[in-house]
Amino acid sequence: MTLLGENTAALYDTGPVPGPGGMPVTYEQVATGELTVIGMEKPIVPRLSAGLRLHGEYQGSGFTEPRYIARRGDGQVVQLSRLLHLVASSIDGSRDIETIAHRVSARFGREVSAENIRYLIENKLDPLGVTVPEGLRDDQISAPRSDLLLALKGHRVIFNERRVAKIARALAWLHRPLVVVAVLAGVAVLDVWLFAYFGAITPVLEVLDQPVLLLVVFVLTVASLVFHEFGHASACRYGGARPGSIGCGLFLIWPSMYTDVTDVYRIGRGGRLRTDLGGIYFNVVFMLALAGAYALTGQPFFLAAVYLNHFEILEQLMPAVRLDGYYILGDLAGVPDLYGKIKPILLSLIPGARGSKARAEVAALKKSSRVIVATWVLTMVPLIIGELGYALWNLPRITTTMIRSLTEQIVGTGGAFAEGEIAAGLMGVVGCIMLLCPMAGVVYLSVKLGGRLWRGAVKSTDGRPRLRVALCALLLVGLGGLSYAWVSGMTPEPLPKKPPIAPILQPGVSPSAPPARRATTPDPDDAAPSAGVPSASAGTASPDASDGPSASASPSDSASAQPGASKSPSEGTVGQPSGSPETSGQPPVSGSEGPGSGSPSASASSESPTAPESSSEPPVDSPTPSPS
């Protein structure tokens, strides 16, 4: 049938028009396909949801039957059987159900009718969000998700696909086997030196005492996060896949970054694992770069950033959604959508009725996959406990340093405002904020983690009073042991206060080093001079001669007990006239951090006030050698 005017052909033949005048038909009815069809049914043409990508068979599957992977436009990964995959791959938006049935039958090897295809689409693919139900738009689909918290909120692209391709191509060489071996060997040596010899917590305490260093470490942490994403993208390209964009968004309430590596599903398990581990591997590379920066500059905040990177790596290795450990474990076990299967796999290890029920839930998984998941979780838990134990052991040092620094900051800022120094007070407020942010983060994470552990313990011990009592006893023993270690002084002591690096951020805090503490032995009759005080005949000033906090006492004390211990070039020569700081016999204030300041050597001088005969100090008439 042909219409006058635009000469538009009818979509469907309505048969002969009855009667001389026929039945009235409008142009809109023909153009929109709303004509009443007589004697035939309009064929159904299914269509896929917007953004759906079919990745084919999942290589290295941990299931007993082969699985096929599809990724929806919202990022959710969907597993399909072979028949459902054949149906979905035959849908192109133009084929009707009858044509799809013929195509699927030829590829499946068995006869599949049009009614079978319609049933599979309406009852299997539509609920999964793979296809769009008839009469609905793409934005009207409410497809299920394995985790409602999986999506990032308000995500924005930072590096588009073209820029990511250039970055990945430039960094792909870092994934060569020899380079990987060298990097891992280097970080092993670094960790042994940092944790066993240098002391990993020391640079962290120094950073907590300086607001400007907190800002520097924060910038380094953000840089490590960006470099982490570069690792995923470069590993994806090295494995033969094409990385997508890099962006950021909000996961729950936390800022988070992501890299689109969906194309990695079409390569083998080895390439997927390399991509999963690429981010953590680049964190290790970043730590080696920070260690190199420390070796060149000697600045401790680089080591503080190295220590914090360890926590970032351990966090990423946890098998939680949106963390690298989730995808690593999924690819190791051959289960792309692992959420909801970790708990049944762990429960399947328990003998008895509860274990039998869990084993029935994971019967579709291979035994090797269940072993991999259980081994991963049981390995990560002790590592996390070890890191938390190390932090708890040093908790007194961390807490003391934080409270001392914040107290001085608040007092100095308040004093600046009280004296009318508005600009200095405002800069002090900035310093307070820089100190409060990490403190608030530590408190929040501690409360959140403690609450989660408490709720989990209550739930797991519900109806099991003996287990609950045992857990409470274990908790009390652990807290009691830690408390005794904190109170008795078994844990390391806090670092001494140091002058601020950026005095503008710390008003009211003295920019000079604090006076060194003297270690003296009080005399019972208060008549004899302290053994730790050098005599006037030695050429040094008596402590009573100066009301200020002279720093000369500390080096001289240590020198009397430990000859040659002081390396300060400003240490004067006894017997020379006092004309300048270099010859007065009293080191300047900047030398208060030298050896002997509040150290055991000072207390040794109280027991042995006179120098031994084998003193290695230069004679009184000879010039003091300067250090090289």
Average pLDDT, the chain: 73
Whether residue 231 is predicted with pLDDT greater than 80 in this model: the reply is: yes
- pLDDT computed for residue 619 by the predictor: 41
pLDDT confidence of residue 598: 40
pTM over 0.75, yes/no: no
Question: What is d(CA 572, CA 511) in angstroms, rounded to the nearest whole number?
Answer: 25
- pLDDT classification of 401: cutoffs 50, 70, 90: confident
Query: In the structure encoding, which two tokens stand for residue 553, read together?
Result: 């006492």
Average pLDDT over residues 197-204: 82
Between residues 341 and 330, which one has the greater pLDDT?
Answer: 330
Question: CA angle, corner 526, sides to 521 and 530, nearest 5?
Answer: 35
pLDDT at 143: 67
In the three-class reduction of DSSP (H, G, I as helix; E, B as strand; rest coil), residue 335 is classed as coil
pLDDT at position 26: 59
Q: What percent of the chain has pLDDT over 90?
A: 18
**Residue 437 neighbours by CB distance under 10 Å:** 14
List C-alpha distances in Å: 412 to 306, 396, 419, 510: 31, 24, 11, 10
pLDDT value at position 555?
Answer: 39
Give residue-wise pLDDT tens across range 428-455: 787 777 777 767 767 776 777 777 778 8
pLDDT above 70 as % of the chain: 66
**Can you tell me the mean pLDDT for 243-248?**
89
- The residue behind tokens 């002058």 is 499
Q: pLDDT grade, residue 25 (50/70/90)?
A: low
pLDDT of residue 8: 43
* Dihedral angle sign, alpha carbons of residues 153, 156, 161, 166: negative
Residue range 60-67: mean pLDDT, rounded: 80
- Residues in the chain, total: 628
For residue 461, pLDDT beyond 90: no
- Residue 337 in tokens: 């959508």
- Residues 528-580 pLDDT 10s: 444 444 444 344 444 344 444 444 334 344 334 344 443 444 444 444 444 44
Specify the range with the lowest mean pLDDT, choosing from 347-351, 439-443, 446-450, 500-504.
Answer: 500-504
The answer to whether the CB of 427 falls within 8 A of the CB of 397 is: no
**What's the pLDDT at 137?**
72
Lowest mean pLDDT among 191-200, 292-301, 330-339, 414-423: 330-339
- Give the separation between CA 158 and CA 146, rounded to whole angstroms: 27
Burial class (CB in 10 A: 0-12, 13-18, 19+), 39: exposed
CA distances from 16 to 11, 19, 22, 39, 609 (A): 15, 9, 9, 12, 126
Question: Percent helix, strand, coil in the chain (nearest 5)?
Answer: 55, 5, 40
Q: Give the position of tokens 């040093």.
A: 394
pLDDT at 489 over 50: yes
pLDDT bucket at 523, cuts 50 / 70 / 90 = low
The domain ranges of the chain are: 1-36, 53-140, 150-320
pLDDT for residue 23? 52
- Is the pLDDT assigned to residue 394 strictly greater than 80? no
- Residue range 584-612, pLDDT digits in tens: 344 343 443 443 434 333 333 333 434 44
Q: Using one digit for the tens of pLDDT, what is the confidence trace for 269-289?
A: 889 999 999 999 999 999 999
For residue 67, what pLDDT is reported? 84
